[in-house]
Structure 1
Amino acid sequence: MLMTKFTHACVRLERGGAGAEQASRSVLVIDPGNFSEVEEALSGAQAFLVTHEHSDHVDLPRVAAVLEADPGLQGWAPEKVAGQLKEAAPSCADRIHTAEPDTEFEAAGFRIQTFGSQHALIHASIPVVANIGYLVDGEVFHPGDSFTVPPGVDVETLLVPIHAPWSKIGEVLDFLIAVRARRAYPIHNALLNDRGTGLVESHAGRIGGIYGTEFAHLEPGESVEL
């Protein structure tokens, strides 16, 4: 499986042929938000997943435009987001599905398991919204805006929300320790400058390594074979 990181929380997962065989590829995108390269990430994809309603995880107008232009694209999202996408792209309503917690389904040929049900608390005055974490093919876990630990699962590849208005470094490290994936990569990092990135990721690499997780940085547009 090839994983490409885009800016912030968006990733693209690909499996199958390359080059002349590109039409046979299975392509799945998670969280095409407004900090991300939405059109590039969704180009040629058969499906996308949205963890929650915040615009840095789903750019409704741009995603709706891609849905309308690509009749082969399907999407899964929490109920409220699915409804918003149907309103934004009414002709595509039959290709937009509601993702429920603790379920399994297939998207673009990938097996999807869902975990968790709510966004991490930002502040008592800010309402908590629904948030679904997605485990893809038992391999890659994207938690969205949460530190949900998927129970009973040995996660191979963890996508770590490395910086957020709802977290601190200690909580990020506790999440790494709790999941104990074989490897981890940062997401949710568009608000960090280079100095902040170096500081936070140095802690993640050191602490993750103590507990058996190899943490590595990925730049937007960079790909890694899983």
Structure 2
Amino acid sequence: MKLTKFTHACVRLEKDGRVLVLDPGNFSETGEALAGAEAVLITHEHADHIDVPAVAGALRSATDLVLYAPAGVADQMRTEVPEATARINAVDPGTSLDVAGFAVRSFGGQHALIHPQIPVVANIGYLIDDNVYHPGDSFIVPDGISVKTLLVPLHAPWSKSAEVVDFVVSVRAPRAFQIHDGLLNDNGLKVVEGHVKRIGAKYGTEYNHLRAGESVEV
């Protein structure tokens, strides 16, 4: 399976000529990421994880494109693109799906707390083909399975470096790559990645940085 990272939280997966995209948000190169996609998975409603105009446009132009998201996001997208209602699906945590030829399992249910005065929204983490895990904006550790490739939310208003490192240590995937790095400059990126790489290695996780647009086989 080919994994391509885009700016911030968006990831494109390709296998056997089929394409699945996760979290094409407004920090990302959504047009490039969504080109030829059969399915889109959305973790939660924040704009850096779903660029609503771009995804709505893709649903209108590609009549075989399907979308999976938490119920609130699914309802919003049905309003935006009523002609695509049958292709827009709500996802609950703890479900298994066959999406564009990929086996998908869902975890979690809640976005990490930003502040007590900021409402908590629904968040779904997705495990693809018992391999790639995208947690969205959460540190939910999938239960009962071994993750092979972990996508690490490196920096966010809702996290601190200790929590990022503990998440990597808890999942203990053999390899990890960063997501949610769009708010860091180069100096901040080096600091946080240094901690993740050094401490993660003690627990069997090899961490590597992917540039925006870079691909890797997983």
Equivalence map 1:74-85=2 (5 Å): 74-85=66-77
State the distance in 2 between where 1:126 and 1:106 align: 34
Q: Which residue of 2 aligns with 1:134?
A: 126
Q: Mind listing any 5+ residue stretches in structure 2 that lack a counterpart?
A: none
Q: 1:8 corresponds to which letter in structure 2?
A: H
The answer to whether 1:225 aligns with 2:217 is yes
Q: What is the number of equivalent residue pairs in this alignment?
A: 218
Identity of aligned residues (%): 59
Q: How does 1:25-174 map to 2 (within 5 A)?
A: 25-174=17-166
How many angstroms does 1:182 deviate by? 0.6
Q: What does the per-residue CA deviation read over 1:167-209, in whole Å, with 9 as the maximum and x for residues that have no partner?
A: 0000000000000001000000001000000110011100110
Aligned match for 1:191, one of 183, 192, 206: 183
Matched position secondary structure for 2:196: helix
Q: Which sections of structure 1, spanning at least 5 residues, go unmatched?
A: 17-24
Instruction: Give the secondary structure class of the aligned counterpart of 1:184.
Output: strand
Deviation of the 1:72 alpha carbon: 1.4
Query: Aligned with 2:190: secondary structure?
Result: helix
Following TM superposition, by how much is the alpha carbon of 1:56 offset from its aligned partner in structure 2, in angstroms? 0.4
1:215 equivalent to 2:207? Answer yes
Q: How many Å separate the matches in 2 of 1:96 and 1:42? A: 16
Residue correspondence of structure 1 range 171-186 to structure 2 within 5 A: 171-186=163-178
Give the TM-score, by structure 2 length: 0.99
Match of 1:12 in 2: 12
RMSD: 0.5
Give, as a single letter, the amino acid of the residue that structure 1 aligns with 2:201: G
Q: Which residue of 2 aligns with 1:19?
A: none
How far residue 142 of structure 1 moved from its aligned partner, in angstroms, is 0.3
